[in-house]
Amino acid sequence: MIKVSGLKKKYRMGETSVFALRGVDFTINENEFVAIMGPSGSGKSTLMNIIGCLDKPSEGSYQLNQQEVASLDDDALSAVRNKEIGFVFQSFHLLPRMTALQNVLLPLRFSNPPNDDRTYASELLTRVGLGTRQEHRPNQLSGGQRQRVAIARSLVNRPTILLADEPTGALDSKTSVEIMALFTELHKAGQTIILVTHEEEVAAYAQRVIRMRDGNIVEIEQRGEYAA
């Protein structure tokens, strides 16, 4: 599903070049649950942005579903991002004046939704445990409930990959466990998940952990199913 070869990302800072990625290689197969870990400055956020088609590498190859995306222009990257990738962020990014259902429906404005899009969005909210909260606005929901809305929204375009950036970073420990249990359920149902985190407790839910430091992969740890 994902194949990365010799991936580098270089930034210019004045007259100096700084490498955020120094030549990264890995593959992620369909229906894997993978965590990318590393301290601040390790390159994990840069790698996430490239995988999510939010940024381009300076060098190397990135193939998503056998399509070379490393050299696509901005419009093509946007199309791939909308079709293939669902995003879950630490800070939810819900629109405060919209209901939970309206927030879930929002990505469909930028695609060609099926006729039953509202029904499907409602089903997703029920699937994440918010069947009775669909008309509530974000300020009427707890942090965990808001993240569940964000997860439902990430799934509404039926993406091949769910990309989660520190999805429990704004949540307490009990709610974090509940959200990670939901990710596990989604994975068991067939969803490919890539999760970026700095927390060992969160990475423990993944089948495989890619550890980064100073722009390099320093370890790839294979784990059993649902270790947490």
The two beta strands, 161-165 and 59-64, are unpaired
Q: What confidence score (pLDDT) does residue 201 get?
A: 92
Joined tokens for residue 82: 């909308």
CA–CA distance, 16 with 3 (Å, rounded to integer):
30
Neighbours of 18 (CB within 10 A): 11
Q: CA distances (Å), 164 to each of 42, 73, 96, 115, 225, in order?
A: 17, 24, 21, 28, 19
Could you tell me the pTM of the whole model?
A: 0.90
What stretches in the chain show pLDDT beneath 70? 110-115, 224-228
| Domain annotation for the chain: domains and CATH numbers | 2-222 (3.40.50.300)
Tens digit of each residue's pLDDT (9 = 90 or more) over 204-214: 999 999 999 99
DSSP state of 9: E
Q: What confidence score (pLDDT) does residue 110 get?
A: 63
Q: CA distances (Å), 187 to each of 16, 34, 59, 105, in order?
A: 42, 10, 31, 22
Joined tokens for residue 123: 């089903």
Q: What confidence score (pLDDT) does residue 120 get?
A: 92
CA–CA distance, 196 with 51 (Å, rounded to integer):
11
